[in-house]
Structure 1
């Protein structure tokens, strides 16, 4: 209960504890569970404060959308205010690194749509559980963008060719196909029951064992840190390109994709 009393009142996430099992819900229903700076800051703040108290971290979204990626409306507002930089990619990359390498087992519980930056949260997790009707997509190339910060995590999880194919095609992938490709570890119609079965096993592990294993896992594969500088550079490049920003603004204001007249 002491941990619960210390959790700040966040605006974009809902956090609850059951012993050392923590559920972090992405909660921006008014914005289709998209990623803005406040959301990233709140995720980082929570993880920095409480990682040592967590043995299993469950990340979930809403029933219809897990996370839909960057908040185009917020980016458009920033550009209108004379700030062409968009969102800071290092902040979200650091959050994903914490999820991937932190001293806990991370589980993505995916229902509904996971798109673009939402795939970053999925790919960063140690275990991915999905409802059978969940769908996964990378839509960035449609707007001249790249999933630059997502790809190091996605390649680490499912291999370079499937990540390459998913990036180029931009179309939604079913939970069953994501399972075949290695993006998802298990899926069922009743994903809550699937999560419950996994927790029955994972909660038998000691915090000490988890910390040692996750540290060793990170030492075996330090690709996320090695690729970080390139990912951030590329992300900034595509999100400061005037043509891309114009495409984002047009989509926000008219609902038209770049190829539509």
Structure 2
């Protein structure tokens, strides 16, 4: 069903599965992959049959960062061309960050530089125990500019500075400690556990409520407390009038077990 060249997209049981598909290049990012990831997210956003998205990689690693040929090509770009290229990466990361449906990254092998950003920017990230993580840009004289904005919000300034300035490689257990990922699975069980978690979200939680919660968090974190609370009050009142809320409350009061995938 996939119409893309650098990724594979399939869906099953209300789960959209995006697979980075450049295994011969360790799923390294290039301009085409960035564009195709942005396009497939737009496709999924408008597909009511998909409630949760899983992002994973084909081959031995999740994503090794930017493609070496791509990096070499950037050296020949003008400032305006590099600006346009950076805008494309920004749009992809912003699409993931603000995506109304839950996105889960299934990370194995390694997630390096931009690949690390791609993995940890998702709402949930689960990694196999042998996975290596690194924001390695400073080691080649580059800066992790775009991802730094999201990483600082996710783990705080102190941990972000430590990861971004050192370029250090950390294992999955340290990534969990830092808050980069949400869980660790054995290499053999990773895929099954991620799919099971996705199905659990679909079955036990309202899609509408999840989308509204994500939107509220993303649009209020930077506001002064009083302004943020005023937005939250309005969101609270609006949520009470939604069909999902009425359905959920009725089920709770009637002591009925509610399954949102029905």
**Shared fold by TM > 0.5?**
yes
Counterparts of residues 97-112 of structure 1 (less than 5 Å): 97-112=94-109
Instruction: Tell me the SS of whatever aligns to 1:154.
Output: helix
> Shift of the alpha carbon at 1:78?
5.0
In the alignment, structure 1 segments of 5+ residues that lack a partner are 224-261
Query: What residue in structure 1 maps to residue 112 of structure 2?
Result: 115
> Shift of the alpha carbon at 1:211?
2.1
**Contact 2:26–2:60 at 8 Å: present in 1 too?**
no
Query: What residue in structure 1 maps to residue 221 of structure 2?
Result: 221
Query: What residue in structure 2 maps to residue 17 of structure 1?
Result: 11
Pairing 1:201–2:200 present:
yes
> Shift of the alpha carbon at 1:138?
1.2
Query: What residue in structure 1 maps to residue 43 of structure 2?
Result: 49
Over residues 183-209 of structure 1, what are the superposed CA-to-partner deviations in whole Å (9 max), with x where a residue is unaligned?
Answer: 011001121232133123211223322
**Contact 1:55–1:103 at 8 Å: present in 2 too?**
no
In the alignment, the residues of structure 1 paired with residue 21 and residue 43 of structure 2 have an alpha-carbon distance, to the nearest angstrom, of: 19
In the alignment, the residues of structure 1 paired with residue 12 and residue 157 of structure 2 have an alpha-carbon distance, to the nearest angstrom, of: 37
Q: Which has the higher contact order (CA 8 A, sep 6+)?
A: 1
Match 2:161 to one of 159, 164, 168? 164
Scaled by the length of structure 2, the TM-score of the pair is 0.76
Over residues 134-174 of structure 1, what are the superposed CA-to-partner deviations in whole Å (9 max), with x where a residue is unaligned?
Answer: 11001111111111111111112111111111112212100
> Shift of the alpha carbon at 1:41?
0.9
In the alignment, the residues of structure 2 paired with residue 222 and residue 50 of structure 1 have an alpha-carbon distance, to the nearest angstrom, of: 28
| Number of residue pairs aligned between Structure 1 and Structure 2 | 216
Counterparts of residues 33-72 of structure 1 (less than 5 Å): 33-53=27-47, 54-72=50-68
Match 2:93 to one of 96, 100, 104? 96
Question: Which portions of structure 1, spanning 4 or more consecutive aligned residues, are displaced by more than 4 angstroms?
Answer: 82-87
Range with bigger deviation, 173-182 or 114-123: 114-123
**Contact 2:16–2:44 at 8 Å: present in 1 too?**
no
Query: What residue in structure 1 maps to residue 150 of structure 2?
Result: 153
> Shift of the alpha carbon at 1:213?
1.8
RMSD: 2.0
